[in-house]
Amino acid sequence: MYERLDEAFSAIEKLFREATERAERAQWLSDYVMGWSEARGLSFDCETATRDWNARLPSEPRPPAPWYQERMTVRREEIRELRESLKRAHGGERLARTWARRERNRADAAEAECNSLMLEIERMRAVRSREDRY
């Protein structure tokens, strides 16, 4: 899972670098055009253009890109499945411990019964050997 997160972060970093490079390129082009237009006596009102641009932008933040929403949905589902798997594993571990305790108790009881039967057999042999002597 950590490998996937590392891959995701690497992809995000790459996208950020590419976006930064595009922004720097756009800024350079804007400065170039502004310098070129001023050298020819043309003027461009940046404040008016900025107001027009801001008026075009929606006032609410844009929703995340569909691919991002899809990935987030997939990750949430993976996390939900991992939590369920962990709960099942924990429950299975508890059942296994209970079963092991029960089987250990049964084995101990069987061993104790076996030992008592062996003692009884030894006692009977001792009695029989005494009887055979007389």
Integer Cα distance of 58 and 63 in angstroms:
11
**What are phi and psi for residue 62, nearest 5 degrees?**
-70, 150
Q: What is the pTM of this model?
A: 0.38
**Which residues, in sequence order, are CB contacts of 64 under 8 Å at separation 6+?**
72
Integer Cα distance of 101 and 94 in angstroms:
11
The residue length of the chain stands at 134
Tens of pLDDT, residue by residue over 53-104, are 777 766 666 666 677 778 888 888 988 998 999 899 889 999 999 999 999 9
Tens of pLDDT, residue by residue over 97-126, are 999 999 999 999 999 999 999 999 999 988
